[in-house]
Amino acid sequence: MQLKPRVLVLQALFWSLVSLRVFGAALLSEEKTTVKQQSAPCWLLEDFVVTAECSPCTAFQDHVLGVLRADGLRGASQLHQIQQGRERLFWRFEASMLVLTLSSSVVVVLRQRLLDRLASEKVRRQIESI
């Protein structure tokens, strides 16, 4: 019985560290992805460097990226949008895994309490029958 409080303290410590990590990372990503509404397109307001000219997509890129300009070429802005979409999906996945983990932990704790209660009732019945 002495082990139980230690386990609960370790679980509480673990979950607090996990939640701090996830929520801290989520806050950092929100700061990065904050976009100001502007009337002019970003390429007119910000400095940029063209790393490569637009080029025709391969069949694989067309299948995977699925974002093409009207002339059938891909550009860096589409790739940036795809990266932001993937980052959003990643954080949704992380949040769903956190919810799944927390709910599973609650189920495990409740089941353990039920099994402990059943075991103590069984021991009590055995003692009473003596």
- Residue 32 pLDDT more than 50? yes
Q: How much is the pLDDT for 1?
A: 43
Q: How much is the pLDDT for 60?
A: 76
Using CA atoms of 27, 28, 32, 33 in order, give the dihedral in degrees to the nearest 10.
-30
Cα separation, 26 vs 105, in Å, equals 22
Domain-by-domain residue ranges, the chain? 3-129
What are the b/e assignments for 98-108, b being 16+ CB within 10 Å?
Answer: beeeeeeeeee
pLDDT category at 50 given cuts 50, 70, 90 is confident
Q: How much is the pLDDT for 85?
A: 82
pLDDT tens, position by position, 66-124: 555 555 555 555 666 777 888 889 999 999 999 999 999 999 999 999 999 999 999 99
Check if the beta carbon of residue 55 is closer than 8 Å to that of residue 73.
Answer: yes
pLDDT category at 38 given cuts 50, 70, 90 is low
Number of continuous H segments (helices) and E segments (strands) in the chain: 4, 2
Q: How much is the pLDDT for 97?
A: 94
Cα separation, 12 vs 6, in Å, equals 10
39-45: average pLDDT: 76
52-78: average pLDDT: 64
pLDDT category at 31 given cuts 50, 70, 90 is low
Host H or E run for residue 81: helix 76-129
